[in-house]
Chains A and B, each alone.
Chain A
Amino acid sequence: MEKQTIVSKLMGDSYFKIKHPSGLDILVCEMSGFSSTEALFGTRYGSINTMFKTKSDKDYTVVPEGIAHFLEHKLFENEDSDVFELYAKTGASANAFTSFDKTCYLFGCSENWQESLRILLSFVQSPYFTKESVAKEQGIIGQEINMCNDDPSWRVFFNMLRSMYHNHPVRIDIAGTIESIAQIDADLLYKCYNTFYNLHNMVLVIAGNVNVDEVLKIADEELKPCENIELETVFPDEPYEVAVKEIHENRPVGVPMFNIGIKCKPLNGYASVKAEMEADTVMNILCDTSSPLYKEMMDEGLINSTFGTEVFCGDGFFSLIFSGESDRPKEVMDRIFKEIEKAKTEGLDEEHFEIIKKSNYGHSIKKWNGPNYVANSLINSYFSGVSGFDAFEILSEMKYEDVQRCLCEMFDTENYVLSIIESGENG
Chain B
Amino acid sequence: MAVSFKREIIGNGIGFSEITDPKFKTNSVRIQFNFPLNPETYHNNLVAGSILGCCNSKYPTIADFSKKLDKLYGAGIYSESGRYVDTQYIYTYMNTINDKFALEGEKLFDDTLDITFDCIFSPETENGAFESSVFNFKKKDALDSLEAEINDKRNYALIRACQIAYKGEISNLKEYSEKEGIEKVTAQSAYEQFQNMLKNSQIEVFYVGAEPNPELKEKIKSAFSYERNIPVCNYKSFSPVKPEPEYVTEKMKNVLQSKMVMVLKSECTDFFAINVLNAIFGGSTTSKLFSNVREKMSLCYYCASRYSQGKGSLLVDSGVEEQNIEKAETEIIRQFESIKNGDFTDEEIDNAVLFLVNAYNSISDTAGSLIAWYMKQVTEDEILSPAETAEKIKAVTRERIIDAAKSFTLDTVYVLTAEKEEN
Report whether B22 and A359 are in contact in the complex, using a CB–CB cutoff of 8 Å. Answer: no
Report whether B63 and A361 are in contact in the complex, using a CB–CB cutoff of 8 Å. Answer: no
A81 within 8 A of B: no
From A82-90, A97-105, A180-188, A189-197, the one touching the partner chain is A82-90
Which residues of chain A are near B74, meaning CB under 8 Å?
358-363, 366
Task: Decide yes or no: A252 and B144 within 8 Å by CB, A35-B361, A362-B75 being known contacts.
Answer: no
Pick from B254, B360, B362: contact of A251, CB under 8 Å: B254
Determine chain A's interface SS by DSSP, over half rule: mixed
B301 within 8 A of A: yes
A391 within 8 A of B: no
From A53-61, A108-116, A314-322, A397-405, the one touching the partner chain is A108-116
Which residues of chain A are near B286, meaning CB under 8 Å?
84-85, 87-88
B329 within 8 A of A: no
Task: Decide yes or no: A35 and B137 within 8 Å by CB, A109-B358, A254-B144 being known contacts.
Answer: no
Report whether A427 and B351 are in contact in the complex, using a CB–CB cutoff of 8 Å. Answer: no
Pick from A33, A35, A146, A299: contact of B256, CB under 8 Å: A146
A-B contact count (CB 8 A): 193
Report whether A289 and B147 are in contact in the complex, using a CB–CB cutoff of 8 Å. Answer: no
Pick from A84, A366, A368: contact of B290, CB under 8 Å: A84
Task: Decide yes or no: A289 and B351 within 8 Å by CB, A146-B257, A426-B253 being known contacts.
Answer: no
Task: Decide yes or no: A88 and B252 within 8 Å by CB, A151-B152, A369-B25 being known contacts.
Answer: no
Report whether A150 and B254 are in contact in the complex, using a CB–CB cutoff of 8 Å. Answer: yes
A370 within 8 A of B: yes
Q: A301 CA to B135 CA in the complex, in Å?
A: 12
Report whether B285 and A359 are in contact in the complex, using a CB–CB cutoff of 8 Å. Answer: no
Q: A294 CA to B74 CA in the complex, in Å?
A: 18
Task: Decide yes or no: A299 and B133 within 8 Å by CB, A254-B144, A255-B148, A366-B97 being known contacts.
Answer: yes
Task: Decide yes or no: A136 and B298 within 8 Å by CB, A150-B153, A152-B151 being known contacts.
Answer: yes
A5 within 8 A of B: no
B365 within 8 A of A: yes
A305 within 8 A of B: yes
Report whether B351 and A366 are in contact in the complex, using a CB–CB cutoff of 8 Å. Answer: no
A412 within 8 A of B: no
From B4-12, B64-72, B372-380, the one touching the partner chain is B64-72
Report whether A254 and B147 are in contact in the complex, using a CB–CB cutoff of 8 Å. Answer: yes
Q: A360 CA to B75 CA in the complex, in Å?
A: 10
Which residues of chain A are near B355, meaning CB under 8 Å?
88, 91, 93
From A137-145, A164-172, A227-235, A331-339, the one touching the partner chain is A137-145
- Contact residues of B between 327 and 368, Cβ < 8 Å to A: 351, 354-355, 357-362, 364-366
Report whether A361 and B73 are in contact in the complex, using a CB–CB cutoff of 8 Å. Answer: yes
A261 within 8 A of B: no
Q: A85 CA to B354 CA in the complex, in Å?
A: 13
What number of B residues sit within 8 Å (CB to CB) of A?
69
Which residues of chain A are near B218, meaning CB under 8 Å?
none
Shortest distance from the beta carbon of B81 to any chain A beta carbon, whole Å: 14
B23 within 8 A of A: yes
- By beta carbon, the residue of chain A nearest B362 is A36
Shortest distance from the beta carbon of A274 to any chain B beta carbon, whole Å: 21
Which residues of chain A are near B147, meaning CB under 8 Å?
254-255
User: Beta-carbon contacts of B5-37 to A below 8 Å, as 1s and 0s?
Assistant: 000000000000000011111100000000000
Shortest distance from the beta carbon of B291 to any chain A beta carbon, whole Å: 8
Q: A200 CA to B117 CA in the complex, in Å?
A: 55
A290 within 8 A of B: yes
Report whether A140 and B137 are in contact in the complex, using a CB–CB cutoff of 8 Å. Answer: no
Report whether A149 and B256 are in contact in the complex, using a CB–CB cutoff of 8 Å. Answer: yes
Report whether B63 and A292 are in contact in the complex, using a CB–CB cutoff of 8 Å. Answer: yes
Which residues of chain B are near A89, meaning CB under 8 Å?
351, 354
- By beta carbon, the residue of chain A nearest B98 is A365
Interface centre among A94, A108, A136, A150 (most CB of B within 10 A): A150
Shortest distance from the beta carbon of A144 to any chain B beta carbon, whole Å: 6
Report whether B351 and A88 are in contact in the complex, using a CB–CB cutoff of 8 Å. Answer: yes
Which residues of chain B are near A292, meaning CB under 8 Å?
63
Shortest distance from the beta carbon of A385 to any chain B beta carbon, whole Å: 27
Task: Decide yes or no: A150 and B136 within 8 Å by CB, A94-B285, A295-B61, A358-B70 being known contacts.
Answer: no
Further 14 A-B residue pairs, CB within 8 A, beyond A88-B355, A150-B254, A362-B73: A34-B23, A36-B362, A92-B358, A110-B357, A111-B358, A144-B301, A254-B144, A298-B133, A358-B73, A359-B74, A365-B25, A366-B26, A368-B25, A370-B365
30 of the cross-chain contacts (CB-CB < 8 Å) are A36-B365, A85-B286, A89-B351, A89-B354, A91-B355, A110-B359, A111-B361, A146-B256, A147-B256, A149-B256, A150-B256, A251-B253, A252-B150, A252-B252, A252-B253, A255-B147, A290-B66, A290-B70, A295-B62, A298-B137, A299-B137, A358-B70, A358-B74, A360-B74, A361-B103, A362-B96, A369-B26, A370-B366, A372-B365, A427-B253
